[in-house]
Structure 1
Amino acid sequence: MRVVPVLAAMALLAGCSAPADPPRPAPSAAGPMPRVVAYFTNWGNDQVRDVETSGAAGRLTDLVYAFGKVTDGTCATGDTWADQGRPIAARNSVDGVADVAGQGLRGNFGQLRKLKARHPGLRVLWSFGGWTGSRGFTEAAQDPGAFARSCARLLRDPRWAGLFDGIDVDWEYPNACGLTCDESGPQALAGIVAALRHELGPDAVVTAAVPADLGKLRATDYAAVARHADWLSAMTYDFFGTGGGTGPTAPHSALRAYPGIPRPAATTDAAVRGLLGLGVPPEKVLLGVGFYGRGWSGVTSAAPGGQATGPARGRYEEGLEDYDVLRRTCPPTGTVGGTAYAFCGDRWWSYDTPETIRTKMAYAVSTHLGGAFAWELSGDTPDAQLVTAMATGLAAPS
C-alpha cells in the first residue's frame, strides 16, 4: 500500500450512537468465512471512532493498522505519538470517554482496544512497511529469525499486549523495485513470513500485501509465501496513474480488460490469475479495492483513452481524491472494465462505487477467493457504503 499524504477524515457528530453489528459474511459449504478486511492509517485526522460510528467495525472481519516501521532489520513503532501518546478527547473516543494522563493506553492503540471490546469478533493486525517504509526489509531478510523475534516482542509489549492478533508484511517489493530496489532473491519474503509464523505461533494471523504487476509477481515465490500466511492481499489498484499528466485516461483499478486499455494485463483479473498460476491457492488470495479515485484535468473526451493537460486537483495530492468527495463533486458518468469513471467539466476520474465493488465481490466469490480488502477506510462515506458493499457482496451466493 502506498503511504500517501493525509486522506480526508469522516466528520461525525460526537453524539452518534454505535449501530448494532450486522451479520458478517457466513461460511460457505466450500470453505471458511470470507475475509472482509480494511486498512486504517496512523496519519491524518481520521479517528478509530469513525470505524465504529460508520458501522464499518460491524462489517469487517479484520482491521489492519498501518504502519509500523522496519528499522535496522527489526520491527518498530511507526508514529509513537499517534499510536500510543496522543490523548483522545471524549468527542473522538470510541466510548465517549476522554483519555486521562497517566491512566491507561492512549492514542490509536487505546481506541483500538476499546473498539475490540465492542466487537469481540474483529481481529486487529499491525502492518509493517508500505511504499515509503519497505527499505528495511532487505536487511530483515538477512536474518528472518531475528526480525520475527523483534516483531513478537513489539506485539507483546505489556502496554498493549493482546491488542494485535497478528502481523501484516507490506514489502514493496521483494526481489523487485518499488521506491527502492531489492535483490534479496525469490525466497526472501517466504523466509520472513515463515519466521513470523514460527515465532508467533499457529493461532496468530500472518499476512502479506503483494503486487498486482505480473513481472513483480514472478520475482518472488508467492506459493511458498502462501504456505505460511493466512492470506495474500493482492494490491489490485493503481494500475494506471496520472504521473505523466497527459494521459491517455484509464481507470486505475479495472476488473477486466476492455477495448483500448493501454496495457491489457493491467487488471484485477490478470493479477488474480497470475497469483493462481504461480500456485497460490485461491482461498489465500484477497482482492484489493481502492477507496479513492485517480484523475486528470484538461480532458475533452468523456470516454477512456482521452488526452489530458495534467493531473486533476486533489485536496492532498494531485491526481488523487477520496471516494466520499468524488461521489459528490464528480459523480460517475459511465463504467468500463468493471469499474466506474466520471467526466465533469474538463476532469476525468476513475474510482470504484458500491455498485462496481459488488461486481468485484461477485468475481471474488465465483473465483473462490478468500475475500477482499480495502485501502483505506478514510476514503469511505460516513455510513461505510463501500465496506458495506464489500461485506454484502461477499455474503451473496455465487
Structure 2
Amino acid sequence: MNKQNSPENIAAQTPGLGRRDLLKLTGAGVAALGAGSLLNASNAKAQSISGEWDKVFPRSEKVDHQKVTFRNRYGITLSADLYQPKNRAGRRLAALAISGPFGAVKEQSSGLYAQTMAERGFVALAFDPSYTGESGGEPRNVASPDINTEDFSAAVDFLGLHPSVDRERIGVIGVCGWGGMALSAVAVDKRVRAVAASTMYDMTRVMSKGYNDSVTLEQRTKALEQLSRQRWSDAEKGTPAYQPPYNELKGGEAQFMVDYHDYYRTPRGYHARAVNSGNSWTQTTPLSFMNMPLLTYIKEIAPRPVLLIHGEKAHSRYFSETAYAAAAEPKELLIISGANHTDLYDRVDMIPFDKLQSFFNQHLSA
C-alpha cells in the first residue's frame, strides 16, 4: 500500500479537528463517503425526474435509451435509465442491473457501464439507489446496506418483467461501494446468474473497521456513542443533520482523495445530483453499516460465477482481494495494470469491457 494512503497518514493529512476525529472514530468511513465533520450543513433535496440527456458521458447512437421507474420491496420508487441495443429485433436478451459508485448517480459511472454493455448486446439498467439522485425516499441522501442491497433485487424484478429480457439470463454489475451491495444481493437473490464488481468497496468493513482494519474497539465505541447521540439532535429538530460538501480539497489530502475530487468535482464526472459532487450524506448514515457485514455469505453466490475487477494502484484493492479469497469457485480477480480506484469509473481504455462482455456472454448464455 502507498504510504501516503496509510490510515495514519490519511488522518494526519485531513484538515479540521472534527473531520480528523471522524476518520479515527468511524473507521475512516467518512473518508469513504467523501469526508466531512459533524456539522449541520444540508443541501440535500428530493429530485424530480429529468427528461434531458444530462449524463457526464456522450450518448451512443447504437442503443435506445428510456427513463423508467419501479418500486422496491419497501415501497420506494427508484428511477433508472434503460439502455437497449438498437438491433435487438424483438429478441429476448440477457440483461444487467447496474449501480454505483457509492454517492454517485446513474448519470455517471453506472450509466457509462450500462450504455457500453448495451452497445455489446445486453439490456442494461442503471439505477439511482433509494434516497439518492432521482429515486424516491426521505430523508434525502441516506444509505442502508439492507435497503440498497434490496435495490438491486428490485432492479432484477423490473428486468424480469420487461418484454425485451430473458428473465433466466440476468446478471449484476456493482461499481465501487455498490460492488459490495451487488455481491450481497446476489448471495441472497438466486435469480441472478452472474455478478461482477468493479473497483469494489466493502462499505460495512471500511465504516466499522477503517482502512486496512486499523480502527480499535475503543475508537469504534466512541464513534457509535457520537453517532447515537446525534440521533437525539436529529429527532429534536425533526430533520437529519448533514455533513459539509464532499470532495472539496483544502490542501494536503491523500492522493485517493485528490482522485475523488478529480472525478466528482470537475467536468470529467461532476453531476449536481450526486452526493459526492458537493452534496452530503446524513451524519448518521454510518450507523447501520457499522453493524451489518455485507459479505458474510459471499460463499453462497456459488455455483454462480463472480468476477472482481480492481486497479493495480487503487488504495481500495485489498477489498477485492479479500472478497476473492472468501468467495467460492467459480471466481476470478482481474487486476488492471496501472489503474487507480477512480480510473475504473470512466476510463474506457482501462475498464475491461471486453472481459465484462465475454464473462456475461459465457454465463448468461441461453
TM-score, scaled to structure 1 = 0.30
Q: State the structure with bigger RCO (CA 8 A, min sep 6), 1 or 2.
A: 2
TM-score, scaled to structure 2 = 0.32
Structure number with larger C-alpha Rg? 1
Name the one with the larger helix percent. 2
